[in-house]
Amino acid sequence: MKFPKGFLFGSATSAHQIEGGNYNSDWYSWEKFSGKKGVSETSKIACDSWHKWQEDIDLLEQSGQNAYRFSIEWAKIEPEEGVFNKEAIDHYRKILETLRKRQIQPLVTLFHFSLPLWLANKGGLTNLKSSYYFQRFATKIAEELGSLIDFCTILNEPNVYTLKGYIQGDWCPGEQSKYKAFIVFCNLIFCQNRAAKAIKKILPSAQVGLAMNIAVYEPANDTFSNRLRVWATKMIAHRLFLHTVMKKCDFLGINHYMKFRIEPSGRAVMLGEEKNDFGWGICPESLYEVIRENAGWKKPIYITEHGIADASDSKRAQFLKDALSAIGEAIKENIPVKGYFYWSLLDNFEWDQAYKMKFGLFTIDRAPRDSANVYKKLIEKYQEK
Determine whether 173 is exposed, middle or buried from the number of CB atoms within 10 Å of its CB (0-12, 13-18, 19+). buried
**pTM for the whole thing?**
0.98
* 341 phi, psi to nearest 5 deg: -120, 110
pLDDT at 374 > cutoff 60: yes
Residue type, 315: K
pLDDT at 357: 97
Task: Name the burial class of residue 106, with classes exposed (0-12), middle (13-18) and buried (19+) by CB atoms within 10 angstroms of its CB.
Answer: buried
Q: Percent of the chain at pLDDT above 70? A: 98
30-83: per-residue pLDDT in tens?
998 865 555 568 999 999 999 999 999 999 999 999 999 999 999 999 999 999
Domain range summary for the chain, segments of one domain joined by +: 8-382
pLDDT averaged over the chain?
Answer: 97
pLDDT tens for each residue of 98-131: 999 999 999 999 999 999 999 999 999 999 999 9
Distance of alpha carbon 283 from alpha carbon 289, whole angstroms: 10
How far apart CA 313 and CA 187 sit, in angstroms, is 39
Superfamily of domain 8-382: Glycosidases (3.20.20.80)
pLDDT in tens, 228-265: 999 999 999 999 999 999 999 999 999 999 999 999 99
Torsion angle of alpha carbons 107, 170, 124, 146, nearest 10°? 0
- The whole-number average pLDDT for the span 188-195 is 98
